[in-house]
Amino acid sequence: MILEQETKDHSFVAKAEGAGTRLTVKLSVAPKTGIQSLKERYNTIKYDLGTGYSYPDSLKSMIPSNVPDYVDEGENYVEKITRALFYFKQCALIGPSGTGKTHIVYLVAKMAGLPLWEINCGLQTSVYDLFGKFVGLGKENWVDGLIVSWCRYGGILYLDEANMMKQDIATRLNPILDTRGHMVLTEKDNEIIPRHPNGYVVISMNPYSAEFAGTKPLNAAFRRRMSVWVDFDYLSVGPKISKREVTMIAERTNIPMPTTERMVRVAADMRKRYKNGDLPYAPSVGDVVNWATLVGDGLNPTKAAEETIISMTSDDPEVQGTVRRIVQMVFGSGTERPA
Tell me the per-residue pLDDT of 156-174, one tens digit each, with 9 for 90 and over: 999 998 888 888 788 888 9
At residue 278 the predicted structure's pLDDT band, cuts being 50, 70 and 90, is: very high
pLDDT at 123 over 70: no
Residue type, 29: V
Please state the pTM of the whole predicted model.
0.77
Position 237 pLDDT exceeds 50: yes
Task: Report residue 145 CA to chain centroid gap.
Answer: 23
State how far the Cα of 168 lies from the Cα of 222, in Å rounded to an integer.
11
34-231 in CATH: which number? Answer: 3.40.50.300
Examine the pLDDT at 25 and tell me if it is beyond 80: no
Residue 185 has pLDDT above 80, yes or no: yes
Give 285-312 pLDDT, tens digit per residue. Answer: 889 999 999 999 999 999 999 999 999 9
Per-residue confidence at 187, pLDDT binned at 50, 70, 90? confident
Determine the pLDDT at residue 213. 53
Domain boundaries, the chain: 1-30, 34-231, 243-331
CA-to-CA distance for 132 and 142, rounded, in angstroms? 7
What share of the chain has pLDDT > 90, as a percent?
A: 54
- DSSP class of residue 282 equals -
> What's the confidence (pLDDT) of residue 142?
81
pLDDT at 90 over 70: yes
Give how far Cα 207 sits from Cα of 97, 163, 233, Å: 9, 9, 11
Is the pLDDT at 275 greater than 60? The verdict is yes
Task: Examine the pLDDT at 127 and tell me if it is beyond 60.
Answer: yes
